[in-house]
Structure 1
Amino acid sequence: MRNAARFARLILGLLCLIVLFCNLEQAVCGVIYVDNRLGNNTLNGISPKIVDGQNGPVKTITRAIQYAKQGDKIILANNETPYFESLSLSGKRFSGLGKEKFTILGNGAIISGAIKIPPNGWRQSGNGLWKVTPFRKGFFNLYHNGKRLPEYRPAENQAVKLEKILPGNWAVHRGAIYYRALKNQLPPTESFTLAGKSVGLSLIDIDGLQISDLTFEKFRMDGINVHDRCKNIVLENVTCTENGRCGLSVNGTSQVKVIDSKLINNRIYDLLITEQAVADLRKTELSKKASVSE
């Protein structure tokens, strides 16, 4: 009987330690605030407003990621100005902790990969054609005043014929973008941008992540690339649009749940699934059929 009582007390003690440990797991999860208008990367990110010399929002998501630890939440201010950043999360540090997922809450903000074309980036090619040669090749998109311009693309296996590019349209030819200007238009004096940064958000080896209320647009490759070995990934009210290759790419053995989201108007694919990956779409809009490739 005495041994049984001791055993029962030991079990009870162990259970108390487990409960305490679980509570500690929840307690250490923090919140980091980001504000691309009022924030400053010398601040600690623990407050949505600047309180004193140290307490206040950081300016970039990249800085918030540097501060972040497992199970944390990053909250973005939406100032109607995009965050021009490219993000990468990898490993346990950016995974969930206990019941808490590592979270990025966008509040309707936009993360953009657009890069402005400088005036000296244009070269005249005659007959109203202007040429710009991006440093990185492979996938392209061209925008004017923030709006994607229509692209001339010949039929499959047909060569691009520059004379067929209509005014206000563009085409890719031999690694360069050719744009035919509108009447009296001078591209070097106007606001043209390229899909320049490679990927909006890249994930690898993550377990427990939620992205909510956020748009990824105008990236050269993908809005979001879930590279491999990711699980318990939730994208809710996320938009991936106007990216040069794909809106959302899910690869390897990754598993992603996409809820109330939009994967629309991306240049090649809206959703690309490769290898053994799984994408569970719920109330999600696509502008073209998902592509599945082994």
Structure 2
Amino acid sequence: MKRKTLAALLVTAALAGACEAREIFVNNVAGADNLDGLSDRASGRAGPVRTISRALCLALPGDHVLLTDTGVPYREQVSIAGPRLHGSERRPLVLDGRGAVLDGTVEAAPGAWRPAVGNVFALALRRLSTQQLFSAGEPLKRVSLTRSADAPLALEPLEWSLVDRRLLVKLEQDRLPESYDLRHAGLETGVTLYNTHHVIVRNLVVQGFHLDGLNAHELVRDCLVDNIDSRANGRSGLSVGGVSRVEAIASNFYDNGRVQVRVEGQAELALESCEVAASEGAAKFKTAGGELKVNGQAVVAP
């Protein structure tokens, strides 16, 4: 398949094959993983499953996994890998978020936030180099500091930094961490693609994972990322490696920790009509081998 026509072919195939494909429904509020997933409403043993992971366990090649946007984030990692989870040129496997949020953040243990200096609190974490901090589901602004002592003056309320092997956040006057819905990056990767082909991942917000929002790790071909917001992940919004071939269309990559989009090895990635925004300390692109094209133009960003 020629990559320049990949998006059009896969989207057309998904629409044409929708009447043939099974639909597996996921609802993280009303669903249950002991249901069959074949209906969006529960009745007996029929009804939506609760987790994306369970839906993928039930999926066959060319199926459509449909998430319900309940307003509650799906807090899990998703892996599309192996001989069963794939599609074909005529019937791609589809993971359709339908506007839902896939979130990799976790809460700190009770008492883990400790007073540091002034109105700044500190959290000691094992995974410090690729972190993000959220409040009420929204990423907070990160500021680069070299000393903890600078935090009271350098940080505004609800800004944070990684310094002296701790995550520091400045709070509003006379407030404690427990009065906020603070969550930090905990799960590793939002959507991992490995040894698969003819897959569409679309209509999904992916945030708060300590490595990548989406990672086409290896042996991925003819896969499409469509209408994805991948933001505020610890390393990157999208990473493509090995000998994988991926196209992303109409997607947004921003506020990720080290780089927004990365390509390595002998991978090939084409971005079409995507918004990629650099942030503090994180460039738009990084290429360590492989081939990156943005709207048809080759990009090299070592």
TM-score by length of 1: 0.85
Q: Please give the per-residue CA displacement for 1:173-193, whole angstroms capped at 9, x wherever unaligned.
A: 243201222212211332111
Q: Which residue of 2 aligns with 1:57?
A: 48
**Cα distance in structure 2, aligned partners of 1:162 and 1:84:** 35
Among candidates 150, 162, 168, match of residue 163 of structure 1: 150
Contact 1:26 1:97 in 2 (8 A): no
Amino acid at match of 1:53: G
Deviations 1:9-46 (A, max 9, x none): xxxxxxxxxxxxxxxx9998422110111111110001
More helix by share: 1
2:44, 2:96 → 1: CA distance? 25
Question: Could you tell which deviates more after superposition, 133-142 or 240-249?
Answer: 133-142
For each residue in 1:45-81, what CA deviation from the matched residue of structure 2 results, as whole angstroms up to 9, or x when unmatched?
A: 011111x311110011011011112221101111121
> Residue 32 of structure 1 contacts residue 57 of structure 1 at CA under 8 Å; is this kept in 2?
yes
Instruction: Select between 26-35 and 182-191 the one with higher mean Cα deviation.
Output: 26-35
- Tell me the SS of whatever aligns to 1:276: strand
Match for residue 185 of structure 1? 175
Compared with structure 1, are the counterparts of its residues 272 and 98 closer, same or farther at alpha carbon in structure 2 (3 Å cutoff)?
closer
Pairwise mapping of residues 10-159 of structure 1 onto structure 2 (< 5 A)?
Answer: 29-50=21-42, 52-97=43-88, 99-154=90-145, 159=146
> Which residues of structure 1 form unaligned runs of 5+?
1-24
Percent identity at matched positions? 26
Partner in structure 1 of residue 286 of structure 2: 291
Q: Which whole-Å CA distance do the structure 2 matches of 1:57 and 1:287 have between them? A: 36
**CA–CA distance in 2 between the matches of 1:143 and 1:262?**
19
Q: Does the 8 Å contact 2:117/2:149 carry over to 1?
A: no
Query: Structure 2: 5+ residue runs without aligned partners?
Result: 1-16, 279-283, 290-302
Aligned-partner Cα distance in 2 for 1:43–1:142: 35
1:220-235 aligned within 5 A: 220-235=210-225
- The letter for the 2-side match of 1:136 is R
The equivalent of 2:229 in structure 1 is 239
Distance in 1 between the 2:101 and 2:186 partners?
A: 15
CA RMSD, 1 decimal: 1.9
| 3-state secondary structure, aligned to 1:171 | strand
| Alignment size in residue pairs | 265
Larger relative strand fraction = 2
Residue 262 of structure 2 corresponds to residue 272 of structure 1: yes
Counterpart-to-counterpart distance in 1, 2:64 and 2:55: 10
Q: Deviations over 1:215-256 (max 9, x none)?
A: 111111100011011001001111101111100001111111
CA distance in 2, matches of 1:166, 1:69: 50
How many Å apart are 1:203 and its aligned residue?
Answer: 1.1
Q: Match of 2:253, as an amino acid?
A: L
Q: Distance in 1 between matches of 2:143 and 2:135?
A: 16
CA distance in 2, matches of 1:237, 1:140: 24
1:127 Cα deviation from its structure 2 partner: 2.1
